[in-house]
């Protein structure tokens, strides 16, 4: 039986729901994504891959928790560089700073925290202890294919201003997963754009923001004003095969 996932990322909810984020109503755009999921998709699990609040606001996390409360499937919270891990963990009740392993019948999902060693400009890393833990997880006796979720991108997106703030220890991470044939995909957020690149046996995917999109391949920051919110749908099939698509919605 296939495993059906949705990924929503970079919600950037403000402390005050009436405060816009880069010219858009981030709450309304997230509501739009959740409504679309409810009405149009069969989902077993929702991954929320970081920057869920723009300033790590407790009231924003509480508002997010309320928005998710009617969903009938699990929602996994990840932290991004704009989040406050401690506050998020308190509200969500999830160990957002730890490596988490979710085993299903035909797949293993590995959830990483990439907020270690933050540089203050947006970059973050996987802590050395968690990198070692990841190595052990990928070397255990499980034969399940692996899909990794995290906030920061480990592959450059050919953007002069974004590539310096990707995963700080990307080279180490990429070398580790490349050496493990069970790893089939790595999914992230952070870049506010669709990204899909196959390197070796691994498919590296980044997903548009539920709030606002960034223009691809730019020297300086620029918002893609014509694009509304986006989310990713992912179907993990038996045998290590995956299918995925981006769902874009109208800008409010």
DSSP letters for 131-181: HHHHHHHHTSS----EEEE-SS-SS--S-TTTGGGSBTTHHHHHHHHHT-T
Report the helix count and the strand count for the chain, using DSSP H and E.
5, 11
- Residue pair 73/66 in contact by the 8 Å Cβ criterion: no
Closest CA to 31 of 75, 4, 66, 73: 66
Kindly indicate the confidence band of residue 33, based on its pLDDT and cuts at 50, 70 and 90. very high
Query: How many C-beta atoms surround the C-beta of residue 30 within 10 A?
Result: 25
Q: Which residue has the higher pLDDT, 39 or 251?
A: 39
Which pLDDT belongs to residue 15? Answer: 97
- On the question of pLDDT at 252 being above 90, the answer is no
Spatial neighbors of 65 by CB under 8 A, at least 6 apart, are 91, 92
At 186, the pLDDT band (50, 70, 90 cuts) reads very high
Average pLDDT for residues 162-171, to the nearest whole number? 98
Q: What is the H or E stretch that residue 192 is in?
A: none
Residue burial 103-116, b: 16+ Cβ < 10 Å; e: rest: eeebbbbbbbbbbb
Reported as a single tens digit per residue, the pLDDT across 83-109 is: 999 999 999 999 999 999 999 999 999
pLDDT-derived band at 161, boundaries 50, 70, 90: very high
What's the mean pLDDT when you consider all of the chain?
A: 97
Task: State yes or no: pLDDT of 50 exceeds 90.
Answer: yes
Main-chain dihedrals φ then ψ at residue 77, nearest 5 degrees: -95, 130
Confidence label for 1 from pLDDT (cuts 50, 70 and 90): confident
What proportion of the chain, given as a percentage, has pLDDT over 90?
99
For residue 126, what is the DSSP state? Answer: -
CB 43 within 8 A of CB 37: yes
Closest to 24 in 3D by CA, of 174, 230, 207, 235: 230
pLDDT, position 62: 98
Strands (DSSP E) found in the chain: 3-8, 45-49, 75-78, 100-103, 108-111, 146-149, 183-188, 195-199, 202-206, 230-236, 242-248
pTM, two decimal places:
0.98
Q: What is the pLDDT of residues 213-228, one digit of tens each?
A: 999 999 999 999 999 9
């Amino acid at each position: 039986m296939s495993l059906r996932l949705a990924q929503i990322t970079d919600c950037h909810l403000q402390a005050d729901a009436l405060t816009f984020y880069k010219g858009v109503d981030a709450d309304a755009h997230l509501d739009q994504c959740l409504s679309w999921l409810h009405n149009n998709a069969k989902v077993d699990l929702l991954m929320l891959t970081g920057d869920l609040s723009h300033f790590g606001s407790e009231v924003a996390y509480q508002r997010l928790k309320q928005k998710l409360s009617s969903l009938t499937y699990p929602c996994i919270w990840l932290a991004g560089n704009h989040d406050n891990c401690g506050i998020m963990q308190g509200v969500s009740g999830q160990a957002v700073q730890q490596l988490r392993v979710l085993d299903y019948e035909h797949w293993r999902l590995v959830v990483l925290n990439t907020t270690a060693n933050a540089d203050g400009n947006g970059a973050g890393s996987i802590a050395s202890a968690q990198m070692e833990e990841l190595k052990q997880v990928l070397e255990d006796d499980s034969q399940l294919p692996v899909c990794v979720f995290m906030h920061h991108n480990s592959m450059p997106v050919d953007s002069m201003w974004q590539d310096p703030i990707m995963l700080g220890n990307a080279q180490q991470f990429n070398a580790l997963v490349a050496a493990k044939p069970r790893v089939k995909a790595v999914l992230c957020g952070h870049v506010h754009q669709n990204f899909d690149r196959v390197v070796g046996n691994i498919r590296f995917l980044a997903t548009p923001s539920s709030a606002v999109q960034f223009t691809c391949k730019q020297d300086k920051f620029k918002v893609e004003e014509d694009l509304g919110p986006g989310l990713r749908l992912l179907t993990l099939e038996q045998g290590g095969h995956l299918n995925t698509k981006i769902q874009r919605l109208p800008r409010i």
